[in-house]
Amino acid sequence: MRGVPRMSGRAMSVMALVGIVGVAAGHRGLSHHARKMSGTEVASINCIPCHVLPRVSGPLASLWNAEYASPLRLAVVPDGTLLVTAEEGGALFVVDPERRAVLDQIAVGGQPHSVITDARGRTAYVTDRWGNRVSVIDLATRTRVSTIPVGAQPGGMSLDASERTLFVANSGTNDISVVDLPSGRAVQRLPAGSHPYSVRGSPIDETIVVLNRLTSPVEHRAPPVTEVTLVDAATRRVVRRVRLDAAHMAEGLAVTPDGATALLTIARPKNLLPATQIARGWMITYGVALLDMTSGRVVQLLLDDVNQSYADPYDVVLSPDGRRAFVSHAGADVVSVIDVPALRALAAAIPDDSLARYANDLSASRQYVVARIPTGPNPMGLAVSADGGTLYVAERVADQIRMIDVATGRDRGVIPLGSPQRESFVRRGERLFNSAGHTAQGQFSCRSCHPEGHTDALNYDLEPDGLGRNIVNNISLRELSTTAPYKWTGKNVSLYRQCGFRFAKWLTRTAPYSQRDLQALVAYIMSLEHMPNPYATADGPLAVAAERGRTIFERAATNDGRTIDERDRCVTCHPPPLFTDGRMADVGTGADTDTQHEFDTPVLTNLAGSGPYLHDGRANSLEELWTRFNPDDRHGVANDLTKAQLNDLVVYLMTLGGARD
């Protein structure tokens, strides 16, 4: 070939050899990098999960990522249409079940949660947890007519009998917004429990039931206590606070048609016991609590069977006659069908001194669970059609609504919400994260302890090292991607290691994830983001105090002018942007029951919503970090601070991360 220099056979051989050596060396180097960074010996980890998958968008990213609707909660309009909040789709879907078609999508913001309608079905209200507001939807025109600012991370809602007042549970600020609908303003905040989540009104009177999801602050190493907050809609007052002892993750709520009983879904964690209980099938149990609306008596009964858990009960609805209750198990891909009269009869027959025994009885469910209906993956929100004949199930990670015949329990098929048929890598990880299928006897999913990738606010006795040793506070998984190492002990250099083989042997007690599943799970966890921090404000008194607090956080001298050693300054170990240096430190907080006293320096962003604090969760407030647990200034020099300075420092910490949109 003229004009083109011909490569000799020897040169080609040399080039080929160089190429082979180069590729081999590159592969070896990359494999070494993957093993080093992942802390595993698995060479098949590719670049994508860590470097490009989780958070990118745009045309190129669409090759591996996809946008999904993620249906969460449902409401049935009197005309038969179904309203669906699309948690990740940022919209309210209007669905025609007859035609199995999506009629419309109404944009409502960043992360829609709940939807309710007025009695005539003219207006819908949708909460947006990302935007801290309620969208008011005109259902005739299918348009958003207004938005109403409420507290942070609003979830469930209920109208009063006059439909002039709306009660909204604000998970992020632990209160209830009282919205005056004629003026379109939130006029009151009523204090709730911890993480108020679901709201239902009594069908017979003005009682509004607010179900809080997480435990209220309790003494260290005490069982969780979750609150049900009862509000009188007429007086706009909290009139009763009911304790759910030893229960939490209370998410689903229904009130019987006679108004006598509220049914609440619960989890009963055994977090005070060593995790060896997992092998015995008793780490977390799941059930319902019956709240007597008159007396306030609570009876907890399990929905699990012996040797088979039904993890993550999320929603509960009743048939119109109140004789059947349906509970979605988001981690077990099942809907439990409950014989309500049998359940109530049993609850009434249990003497008060036997309540604790029945609350732990895995054999009781056969008396009131009459069916288990399989569903698609991750069943969450439920609704019953206006005629009472069809149960709708929001299958969140399948992006579809399943229809089930109430009378027979037979599957009537699904309504697809138009999302991509392809399951992206991250979506696969999200499905795995929400499934209890990878734990012994289906006892728990990742979500069981990390709802929405956050924390359940409990302290666990995880290590199989004896009762009460090495207690660890459960931390949020959000924005973890660059904060290695992991675990309070810093033993895991990567999420691969955290969630890999050891995890299976030690915690899930079943076969470990496959390499592909593990990578997908890690990719999903690395994609998790914090919600907007309700305390991060651009101006106002909080911002002024936070600025003063920042100077304390970064100070190099005490109030009397002594130089603070660099190692003893807050900012040294907690540098921005995530406020961790990723190193281990002994700050004097180790307990006699801790094997080691050096702990991984935690991330400080979105701190206000992730209490309790310290490695073992012994501090219920940020103030206690310094007023009680830093007597020798080992956790930063702070004992010279005035109370006002300490307050400023706390404000600064509360405002870190996730500015409000």
Partner 1 sequence: MTDQGRGYAYGVIGVSALVVAGVLAGRPAVDEPDAAASRRPVGVETPVVAAPVPAARVIVDRWRTFTERDGLPSSKVFTVRAGDGRVWVGTDRGASYWENDRWHTVDTSDGLAHRVVLAIDVDPRTGDVWLGTLAGLSRWSAGRIDSFDQFNSGLVNDVVYGVAVEGARVWAATAAGVSRYDVTARHWEIFTEQNAPMHEPWTYGVHAADGLVYIAAWGGGVLEYDLATDQWRDYRDPDEEMEIDLFPDDGLVHDVTTGVAYGSGVLWVGTYFGLSRYDGLRWSGYFDHDSGLPSNFINAVRVRGTQVWICTDAGLAEFDGEVWVSYARRDDGRGSVTVRREADAPARTTPSAIAHNYVLGVDFAGDTVWVATADGVSRGHASGATTVAHFTTSTGNE
What are the residues binding partner 1 (CB under 8 A)?
A: 151, 173, 175, 188-191, 227, 229-230, 235, 237-241, 535, 541-542, 545, 608, 620-621, 623-624, 627-628, 642-644, 646-647, 650-651, 654
Beta-carbon count within 10 A of 356 CB: 12
Closest CB to partner 1 among residues 176, 449: 176
Least distance between partner 1 and beta carbon 189 (Å): 6
Closest CB to partner 1 among residues 189, 469: 189
Separation in Å, CA 497 to CA 160, 362, 492, 512: 50, 34, 6, 11
Nearest to 641 by CA among 557, 541, 544: 557
Least distance between partner 1 and beta carbon 238 (Å): 4
Closest CB to partner 1 among residues 29, 631: 631
Please state whether the peptide bond connecting residue 612 to the residue before it is cis, i.e. omega within 30 degrees of 0: yes
CA angle 502–505–510, rounded 5-degree value: 130
User: Dihedrals φ, ψ of 315, to 5°?
Assistant: -135, 155
Least distance between partner 1 and beta carbon 232 (Å): 10
Buried b (16+ CB within 10 A) or exposed e, 580-589: beeeebebeb
**How far is Cα 363 from Cα 342, in angstroms, rounded to an integer?**
15
Least distance between partner 1 and beta carbon 229 (Å): 8
Please state whether the peptide bond connecting residue 485 to the residue before it is cis, i.e. omega within 30 degrees of 0: yes
Name the packing angle between helices 643-654 and 541-553 (round to 10°): 100
Strand intervals (E) in 150-303: 154-159, 165-170, 175-180, 185-191, 194-201, 207-215, 225-232, 237-245, 253-255, 261-269, 284-292, 298-302
Tokens 């799970």 identify what position? 521
User: Dihedrals φ, ψ of 652, to 5°?
Assistant: -60, -45
Closest CB to partner 1 among residues 133, 428: 133
Tokens 């200034």 identify what position? 633
Closest CB to partner 1 among residues 76, 646: 646
- Round the CA-based radius of gyration of the chain to a whole number and report it: 26
Beta-carbon count within 10 A of 16 CB: 10
Q: Output DSSP code: residue 514.
A: P
Beta-carbon count within 10 A of 413 CB: 11
Taken in order 71, 84, 117, 293, is the CA torsion positive or negative? negative
Closest CB to partner 1 among residues 241, 569: 241
**How far is Cα 507 from Cα 526, in angstroms, rounded to an integer?**
21
Least distance between partner 1 and beta carbon 188 (Å): 6
Closest CB to partner 1 among residues 421, 642: 642
Closest CB to partner 1 among residues 172, 376: 172
Least distance between partner 1 and beta carbon 217 (Å): 9
**How far is Cα 153 from Cα 452, in angstroms, rounded to an integer?**
12
Tokens 């998984």 identify what position? 477
Q: Output DSSP code: residue 582.
A: S
Least distance between partner 1 and beta carbon 526 (Å): 30
Least distance between partner 1 and beta carbon 132 (Å): 12
User: Residue 331 corresponds to which tokens in the numbers above?
Assistant: 């981690």
User: Residue 570 corresponds to which tokens in the numbers above?
Assistant: 């807050």
505 exposed, middle or buried (CB, 10 Å; 0-12, 13-18, 19+)? exposed
Residue 383 C-alpha from the chain's centroid:
22
Least distance between partner 1 and beta carbon 627 (Å): 4
Residues 6 or more apart in contact with residue 353 via CB below 8 angstroms:
none
**How far is Cα 335 from Cα 393, in angstroms, rounded to an integer?**
9
* Whether the Cβ atoms of residue 286 and residue 302 lie closer than 8 Å to each other: yes
Least distance between partner 1 and beta carbon 559 (Å): 12
